[in-house]
Amino acid sequence: MKPATMQLQVMWNRLLAIVEEQGQALVRAAFSPIVRECGDISAGIFDADGRMLAQAVTGTPGHINTMAEAVKTLCATFDARQMHPGDIFLTNDPWIASGHLNDFLLMMPVFYSDRVVGFSACTSHLVDLGGLGMGPEGSDIYDEGLLIPPCKLVSGGDLNTLLMDIVRANSREPIANEGDIYALIACCETGANRLQNMMQEFDISDLTDLSDYIITTSRNATLRAVAAMPQGTWTSELICDGYDADIRLCARMTVSQAGIDVDFAGTDSCVDKGINVPLNYATAYTVFALRCIVGPDIPNNAGSLELFRVTAPDGCILNALSPAPVAMRHTLGQMTPDLIYGCLAQALPQAVPAEGASCMYDLPLRHTPGAASDPSRHFALELVFNGGTGARPGLDGLSATAFPSGVWGSQIETTEAAAPVLFRRRELREDSGGAGERRGGLGQRIEIGPSGGEAFMVFLSVERVRNAARGRMGGMNGKPGRIRLEKQGAGSGDLPGKGVFEVSNGDTLIFETPGGGGFGPPENRARAALEADVKAGLVSPEGARKYVGAKP
């Protein structure tokens, strides 16, 4: 008997609970701080055709939206008729999984009544896969670490120990990697077990009716949201810092009754450094940006995602082809929401925020080459910091907030316990938010250095150092980022946004993240709001002069 609509809705709510439990199982069991403390993950449940039904709220668009397509690819690679209970499949191929080698994607078939009824899947970031590691210096994918094609990690409940040995042997953090893989396995098993329990409780033998209900309902709601938009074509350009020269990103967005199409034609070509972006990752953040404005209350699944289509010329920097270096693909990939907002702001001028810091200020750290002969001095750690978001039509921007990545900022105590790093200062960056009727969110200032006399290497690949976040509707630009190295007894000097540098004992790395752009003319800001900003130290008395004529 076909389930009633009420029962289908109850099962949908159960799926939401299942995927959240999946995500929390991964976070709690993970070894690496970037997973455990920062939530750099995704988790989801898929039907027997590989269509995403539900995703955990905990996680990043770069993981979630790439996973939605990756599971389809794995389903096409491995015949369901050859799968067995207890099997788990794995890959970190950037063009299948999540855009670079450090993200492992796992998929587990869910069996019920001796046949595959769906899949549990998850992704998380592993801190080190060998090679040159998490930095932009690789000349191709082979420089960047260990690539694992789609394969079985677990066969009928038996772990592929040779594969685990290979992963450990190719990492500077073998214990953390092993622990994180076990956490991914636990995440898949949690989702599979809970889904089987739900099916037994509701006495259903497959997910067909539930899947069709979720996907059709979400697709129809998204069609209505798109239909409510103005139809037409709009274009946008965004200038990014690039590695050693500016890079131009271009987008052409067309809204029709059939959905929204985005094309990146005109975007600059790939470069010889690891900031190139596979199209799956660029698509993930492009679609996320659209979904934030178009039907943001509609669940993110195969039905709602289907109406957004992204294309790009082969070889442009947002459609890098193998074997291009892509280790730091998030640097430009996370700029695509601001590129898309440039189009959306023309179609919906009062609904789109100003530009923000966008790219997270990722800070991979590692032991120096001088420590290579002493394993006790080895470490690899990846810190994450965030700048300010753009001001919104009715609200100020958010300070030191992870948008669009959703990756929470690294914690001081956890970092200092895990690596020879000392935080000397961490505070909001006064005057970094763009002035406007609604003020841009503030960036932050972080000062770190070696602890215990142990130098370390830093691998920089950040944006908005030369090209600040732009304001919208008369709002002013945010303050660009800035990175300096203060050498003991030798003054300080600015560092470029990309490259590899050594921080020696006694040195201080000063890391200032960008602020978001303002929205609306500064003179329209309420005087009480400006006075509160000055009192709180968010805007200096000098910075307040940008708001001349603020309204009572």
SS (H, E, C) 110-174: EEECCEEEEEEEEEEECCCCCCCCCCCCCCCHHHCCCCCCCEEEEECCEECHHHHHHHHHCCCCH
Report the chain (552 residues): mean pLDDT per 10 consecutive residues. Answer: 86 97 96 91 98 95 97 97 97 98 98 96 95 93 97 98 97 95 98 98 96 97 97 98 96 97 98 98 98 96 97 98 97 98 96 96 89 77 94 97 93 89 96 98 96 89 97 98 88 90 93 97 96 97 89 82
- Beta bridge partners, 54, equal 45
Q: What is the dihedral of CA 219, 222, 223, 227, to 10 degrees?
A: 180
Domain end position, chosen among 219, 254, 286? 219
For the chain, the farthest-separated pair of C-alpha atoms sits apart, in whole angstroms, at 79
Residue 371 inside a domain? The answer is yes
User: What is the residue range of 533's domain?
Assistant: 354-552
SS (H, E, C) 372-419: CCCHHHCCEEEEEECCCCCCCCCCCCCCCCCCCCCCCCCCHHHHHHHC
Tokens 């709690």 correspond to what residue? 28
- Per the CB < 8 A criterion, the answer to whether 399 and 419 are in contact is no
Paired tokens of 497: 């946004």
- Beta bridge partners, 116, equal 111
Report how far apart, in Å, the C-alpha atoms of 123 and of each of 131, 269, 337, 427, 449 are: 21, 29, 22, 32, 31
Q: Is 229 helix (H, G, I), strand (E, B) or coil?
A: coil
Residues 42 and 191 in one domain: yes
Residue 297 inside a domain? The answer is no
Domain end position, chosen among 219, 236, 262? 219
Residue 289 inside a domain? The answer is no
Q: How far apart are CA 273 and CA 271, in angstroms?
A: 6
Residue 251 inside a domain? The answer is no
Residue 288 inside a domain? The answer is no
With a CB cutoff of 8 Å and minimum separation 6, the contacts of 13 are none
Residue 226 inside a domain? The answer is no
Closest CA to 289 of 237, 335, 252, 248: 335
Q: What angle do CA 447, 430, 248 make, to 5 degrees?
A: 80
Closest CA to 240 of 466, 404, 459, 443: 466
- Per the CB < 8 A criterion, the answer to whether 274 and 359 are in contact is no
With a CB cutoff of 8 Å and minimum separation 6, the contacts of 439 are 391, 396, 397, 433, 518, 525, 529, 533, 538, 539
With a CB cutoff of 8 Å and minimum separation 6, the contacts of 376 are none
Paired tokens of 282: 């660029």
Closest CA to 69 of 103, 91, 97: 97
The amino acid present at 515, given as its one-letter code, is G
The amino acid present at 200, given as its one-letter code, is Q
Residue 317 inside a domain? The answer is no
The amino acid present at 73, given as its one-letter code, is T
Surface-to-core class of residue 160, CB atoms within 10 Å of its CB (0-12 exposed, 13-18 middle, 19+ buried): middle
With a CB cutoff of 8 Å and minimum separation 6, the contacts of 102 are 92, 125, 126, 127, 128, 129, 134, 145, 327
Structural domain count of the chain: 2
Q: What is the pLDDT at residue 129?
A: 94
- Per the CB < 8 A criterion, the answer to whether 214 and 232 are in contact is no
Strand order across the 508-512 sheet: 421-428, 444-450, 508-512, 482-487, 491-494
Report how far apart, in Å, the C-alpha atoms of 288 and of each of 13, 285, 294, 362, 403 are: 22, 5, 10, 20, 11
Residues 215 and 358 in one domain: no
Domain end position, chosen among 219, 248, 277? 219
Q: What is the pLDDT at residue 372?
A: 64
φ/ψ of 93, rounded to 5, equals -55, 120
Q: How far apart are CA 388 and CA 445, in angstroms?
A: 12
Query: pTM for the full model?
Result: 0.96
Q: How far apart are CA 288 and CA 65, in angstroms?
A: 8
Residue 461 inside a domain? The answer is yes
- Per the CB < 8 A criterion, the answer to whether 434 and 450 are in contact is no
Q: What is the pLDDT at residue 84?
A: 97
Paired tokens of 179: 């622990």
